Amino acid sequence: MATVLLIRHGQTSANVSGILAGTSPGVPLDDTGVQQITELAKALKGMAPQALITSPMERTVRTADILAQGLSTADLPLQIQHEPGLIECDYGSWTGQPLAELSQHDMWRAVQDHPSSVVFPGDSGEAMSHMQSRAVASIRRWNDVLGPESLYIAVSHGDVIKSIIADALGMHLDHFQRIVIDPGSVSVVRYASLRPFVVATNASGERVSRFITAAAEHGSDAPVGGGSS
């Protein structure tokens, strides 16, 4: 089965200051973010992903670049490929605004409790349901391109990764705010022939390395970490 490591970009100043960066250009990783991804690359060292795809935003491309440098070998250089379907949700006129101010808007409660109904204001504002649809379609397409036994990395954004995981869990988008995806975290989904298995969410690199090793020892359609204990 295809296994994807969904990695959220490292920390940025917008994360720290509570700004909804969205599709704003020029939002780089801060020093902590660079360190997070550098350590993550070390923890994942020895994996041999067939592909490294990324949202085309600066913070995700920089994250992918650090991962590529850390995971590439002479025999297997990793080439970064941009995947527009993994770009951050376009929050329209909310983009670049402080979360503390946005939380006072009437639409804020819908974003939290009924996100499938939300279309962000402004000419470019995206529906959250559309964000999920194009993100899941991108992952499914790469599963087909790379094949059923592939292991690959997809670097994206918090809401995008949450929406992919919600789909894999069979969870309605209206419940996706229950999922936590921190900067620099890894989540793992294995796409079997009948259903996806969510192997890990919001995990460290060390934990993911253990899960991937365990997955290789199980049958292709078996979940990892099951049992009665």
Q: Is residue 38 part of a domain?
A: yes
Q: Is residue 118 part of a domain?
A: yes
Task: CATH number of the domain at 79, please.
Answer: 3.40.50.1240
Q: Both tokens of residue 140?
A: 């499914």
Measured distance CA(51)–CA(37) in Å, rounded: 17
Instruction: List the domain range (segments joined by +) for residue 195.
Output: 2-216
Q: Both tokens of residue 165?
A: 């995981």
Q: Is residue 228 part of a domain?
A: no
Q: Is residue 224 part of a domain?
A: no
Q: In what order do the strands lie in the sheet with 51-54?
A: 80-82, 51-54, 151-156, 2-8, 186-191, 196-203
Instruction: Write phi, then psi, for 189 (nearest 5 degrees).
Output: -125, 130
Q: How many domains would you assign to the chain?
A: 1
Secondary structure (DSSP) of 52-92: EEE-SSHHHHHHHHHHHHHH--SS-PPPEEE-GGGSPP--G
Q: Is residue 221 part of a domain?
A: no
- Given a contact cutoff of 8 angstroms between Cβ atoms, the answer to whether 119 and 47 are in contact is no
**What pLDDT score does 25 carry?**
92
Strand residue runs (E) in the chain? 2-8, 51-54, 80-82, 151-156, 186-191, 196-203
Q: Find the helix packing angle between 158-168 and 128-146, rounded to 10°.
A: 70
Q: Is residue 227 part of a domain?
A: no
**What pLDDT score does 206 carry?**
76
- Given a contact cutoff of 8 angstroms between Cβ atoms, the answer to whether 67 and 40 are in contact is yes
- Nearest 5°: CA angle at 23, between 21 and 26? 75
CB-based contacts of 147, cutoff 8 Å, min separation 6: 2
Measured distance CA(136)–CA(48) in Å, rounded: 23
Measured distance CA(212)–CA(144) in Å, rounded: 20
Straight-line distance from the first to the last Cα atom of the chain, in angstroms, rounded to the nearest whole number: 25
Predicted TM-score (pTM) of the model is: 0.92
Q: Find the helix packing angle between 58-71 and 31-43, rounded to 10°.
A: 40
**What pLDDT score does 223 carry?**
46
Q: How many helices (H) and strands (E) does the chain have?
A: 8, 6
Q: Is residue 229 part of a domain?
A: no
Q: Is residue 222 part of a domain?
A: no
Q: Find the helix packing angle between 205-216 and 31-43, rounded to 10°.
A: 30
Instruction: Please give the chain's pLDDT, 229 residues, in tens.
Output: 899 999 999 999 999 999 999 999 999 999 999 999 999 999 999 889 999 999 999 999 999 999 999 999 888 889 999 999 999 999 999 999 999 999 999 999 999 999 999 999 999 999 999 999 999 999 999 999 999 999 999 999 999 999 999 999 999 999 999 999 999 999 999 999 899 999 999 998 777 877 666 655 554 444 444 433 3
